[in-house]
């Protein structure tokens, strides 16, 4: 696999950073329009100028849209054309109005950037809602639209109702390092079988084995995922991966379940039917993704070296659907205190023991297949602190907790495959984690963790440039 063993899914993100940067000036301009229209500060449109009504309608038409939903581009262009038509109708009475002219400029820029034609269908103020019962995004979108329209129709009502679905992320990699739904980063022993997720819709269990004799560190060599039956969408399906066997099918040999719920067009322009539950093999024997559209879940499983990594995105409402008998979930509550290697978030780096080299020699298995490994198992080394840091810097440029975990794993095991595992885990997190401002976690005591607001400001400044 080498250092090319981990490919980023950045191009498939729901809203890539490059897209956000490209549209930021026009979006900021429209945000300014909304501020002028609704806060009453600075200039206020005259009673005859209906720009505020145009803006309100545009917000109603687009508030439920997300790039994850098929047809996003078409619907967004429809809404822009409706917004533009509304501004044209009120142009005469809005002459000289700053809010109006800002809106016109923002609409023009967004239509150009989105390649929206000026001629074409426009959205109506009460869009027709087509619900796909086996598509979580479609169901949650319908609930949001109904709630949104109800609030606008009954302005005196509270805004309680349905809001857009929130998503949670959980990841496991290395010796093993766990990132929980609450973005708590832990390093645990958890030898044997442990549940990561166990709710009414999904169960994920991992099995961890010792990595090096004399160390409490373990790593994952087996992952079992159970997609529970969902009436009208899918029967139960079980996926199981073990070291050297990362299948592209469920246990029963199928690669999908349920009737097609919509047609998806790939980047190459090929159309295919997407089912309620399906498996995508990204790299044979190395990288598999499982998509459960009916519950909005995405799971990434990789094999790097002798061990497996896992990343999961799940809607919050699905993750919270469990009872008292299912409260042992590492993704939900973290590792039990007696299983923690880190000390309250601080991960002490081990010293490389003199006997580690001998232990590694004893562990080497010349007959072990290296076809699915980034580096052959015989490539294990004894690393000092600086050497481990230099090796991790090759894959991880930012000294966050993923870098720190990489250094810990190299000092503990000498297995260079853990370097690639940490890098892939970080890329999978960036691909699935819904909140960019929470991506970076720094070790306790580091300069960045002492000044998180400064780090966030610097990151924000870089994104704006």
Is the pLDDT at 37 greater than 60? The verdict is no
Distance CA 167, CA 158 (A): 24
Cα distance between residue 222 and residue 209, in whole Å: 9
Asked, for residue 19, whether it belongs to a domain, the answer is no
Domain count, the chain: 2
Name the token pair of 454.
């400064």
Are 98 and 221 part of one and the same domain? Answer: no
Q: Would residue 234 count as lying in a domain? A: yes
More confident site: 126 or 305: 305
151-160, 267-276, 402-411: least confident range = 151-160
Residue at 44 is within a domain: no
Q: Looking at the structure, do residues 277 and 208 belong to the same domain, yes or no?
A: yes
Q: Are 180 and 165 in contact (CB under 8 A)?
A: no
pTM here is 0.67
Q: What ranges make up the beta strands (E) of 118-243?
A: 167-173, 177-179, 185-187, 192-198, 202-210, 218-227, 237-242
List, for residues 131-176, the tens digit of each pLDDT value.
678 889 878 765 555 444 444 444 433 444 445 569 999 999 999 9
Q: Are residues 389 and 255 in the same domain?
A: yes
DSSP characters for 230-259?
A: BTTTB--EEEEEETTB--SS-TTS-SEEEE
39 within domain boundaries: no
Give the pLDDT band (50/70/90) at residue 260. confident
Q: With contact defined as beta carbons under 8 Å apart, do 121 and 140 qualify?
A: no
The CATH number of whichever domain residue 237 belongs to comes to 3.40.1000.10
138 and 81 housed in the same domain: no
List the one residue out of 383, 209, 377 whose CA is nearest residue 305. 377
Residue 317 in 3-state DSSP? helix
The verdict on 219 and 290 lying in the same domain is yes
Give the whole-angstrom CA distance, residue 411 versus residue 42. Answer: 60
Domain range for residue 84?
A: 50-114
Q: Classify strands 185-187 and 192-198 as parallel, antiparallel or unpaired.
A: unpaired
Residue 385 CB neighbour total at 10 angstroms: 14
Q: In terms of domains, do 390 and 261 share one?
A: yes
Which residue's entry shows tokens 């799971």? 299
Question: Is residue 443 a part of any domain in this protein?
Answer: yes
The stretch 45-72 carries a mean pLDDT of 74
Q: Does 8 fall in a domain?
A: no
Give the CA angle between residues 359, 365, 366 to the nearest 5°. 130
Same domain? 101 vs 140? no
DSSP 188: B
109/193 same-domain check: no
Interval 201-212: pLDDT, tens: 999 999 999 998
Indicate whether 85 and 139 sit together in one domain. Answer: no
What's the farthest any 2 CA atoms get from each other in the chain? 85
On whether residue 407 sits in a domain, the answer given is: yes
Contacts of 229 (CB under 8 A, 6+ apart): 235, 236
Q: Are 100 and 215 members of one domain?
A: no
Confidence of residue 454 (pLDDT cuts 50, 70, 90): very low
CB 259 within 8 A of CB 320: no
Are 86 and 172 within one domain?
no
Q: Answer positive or negative: Cα dihedral of 110, 112, 118, 121.
A: negative
How high is the pLDDT of residue 172? 98
Residue 315 forms part of a structural domain: yes
The answer to whether residues 245 and 108 belong to one domain is no
DSSP output for 88-128: HHTTTTTTT-HHHHHHHHHHHHHHHHTT--SSS----SS--
């Amino acid at each position: 696999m080498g250092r090319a063993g981990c490919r980023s899914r950045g191009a498939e993100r729901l809203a890539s950073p490059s897209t956000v940067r490209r549209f930021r000036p026009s979006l900021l301009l429209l945000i300014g329009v909304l501020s002028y229209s609704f806060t009453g500060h600075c200039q206020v449109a005259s009673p005859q100028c209906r720009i505020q009504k145009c803006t309100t309608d545009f917000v109603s038409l687009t508030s439920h849209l997300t790039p994850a939903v098929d047809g996003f581009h078409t619907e967004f262009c429809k809404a822009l054309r409706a917004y533009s038509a509304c501004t044209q109708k009120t142009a005469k009475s809005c002459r000289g109005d700053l809010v109006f002219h800002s809106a016109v400029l923002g609409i023009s820029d967004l239509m150009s950037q989105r390649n929206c034609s000026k001629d074409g269908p426009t959205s109506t103020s009460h869009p027709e809602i087509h619900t796909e019962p086996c598509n979580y995004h479609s169901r949650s979108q319908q609930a949001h639209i109904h709630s949104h329209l109800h609030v606008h129709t009954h302005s005196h009502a509270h805004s309680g109702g349905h809001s857009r679905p929130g998503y949670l992320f959980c990841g496991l990699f290395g010796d093993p390092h766990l990132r929980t739904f609450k973005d708590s980063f832990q390093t645990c022993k958890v030898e044997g079988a442990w549940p990561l997720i166990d709710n009414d819709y999904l169960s994920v269990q991992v099995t961890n084995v010792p990595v090096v004799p004399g160390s409490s560190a373990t790593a994952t060599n087996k992952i079992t995922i159970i997609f529970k039956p969902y009436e009208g969408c899918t029967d139960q399906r079980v996926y199981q991966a073990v070291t050297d066997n990362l299948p592209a099918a469920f246990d029963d040999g199928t690669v999908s379940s349920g009737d097609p719920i919509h047609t998806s067009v790939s980047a190459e322009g090929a159309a295919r039917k997407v089912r309620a539950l399906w498996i995508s093999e990204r790299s044979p024997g190395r990288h598999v993704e499982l998509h459960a559209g009916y519950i909005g879940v995405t799971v990434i499983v990789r094999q790097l070296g002798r061990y497996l990594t896992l990343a999961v995105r799940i809607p919050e409402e699905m993750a919270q659907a469990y009872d008292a008998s299912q409260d042992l979930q590492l993704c939900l509550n973290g590792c039990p205190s007696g299983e923690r290697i880190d000390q309250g978030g601080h991960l002490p780096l081990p010293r490389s023991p003199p006997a580690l080299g001998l232990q590694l020699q004893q562990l080497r298995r010349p007959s072990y297949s290296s076809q699915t490994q980034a580096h052959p198992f015989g490539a294990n080394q004894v690393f000092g602190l600086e050497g481990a840091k230099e090796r991790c810097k090759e894959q991880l440029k930012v000294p966050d907790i993923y870098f720190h975990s990489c250094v810990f794993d190299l000092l503990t095991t000498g297995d260079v495959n853990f370097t690639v595992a940490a890098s892939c885990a970080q890329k999978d997190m960036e691909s699935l984690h819904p909140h960019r401002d929470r991506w970076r976690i720094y070790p306790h005591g580091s300069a960045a963790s002492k000044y998180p607001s400064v780090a966030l400001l610097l990151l924000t400044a870089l994104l704006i440039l």
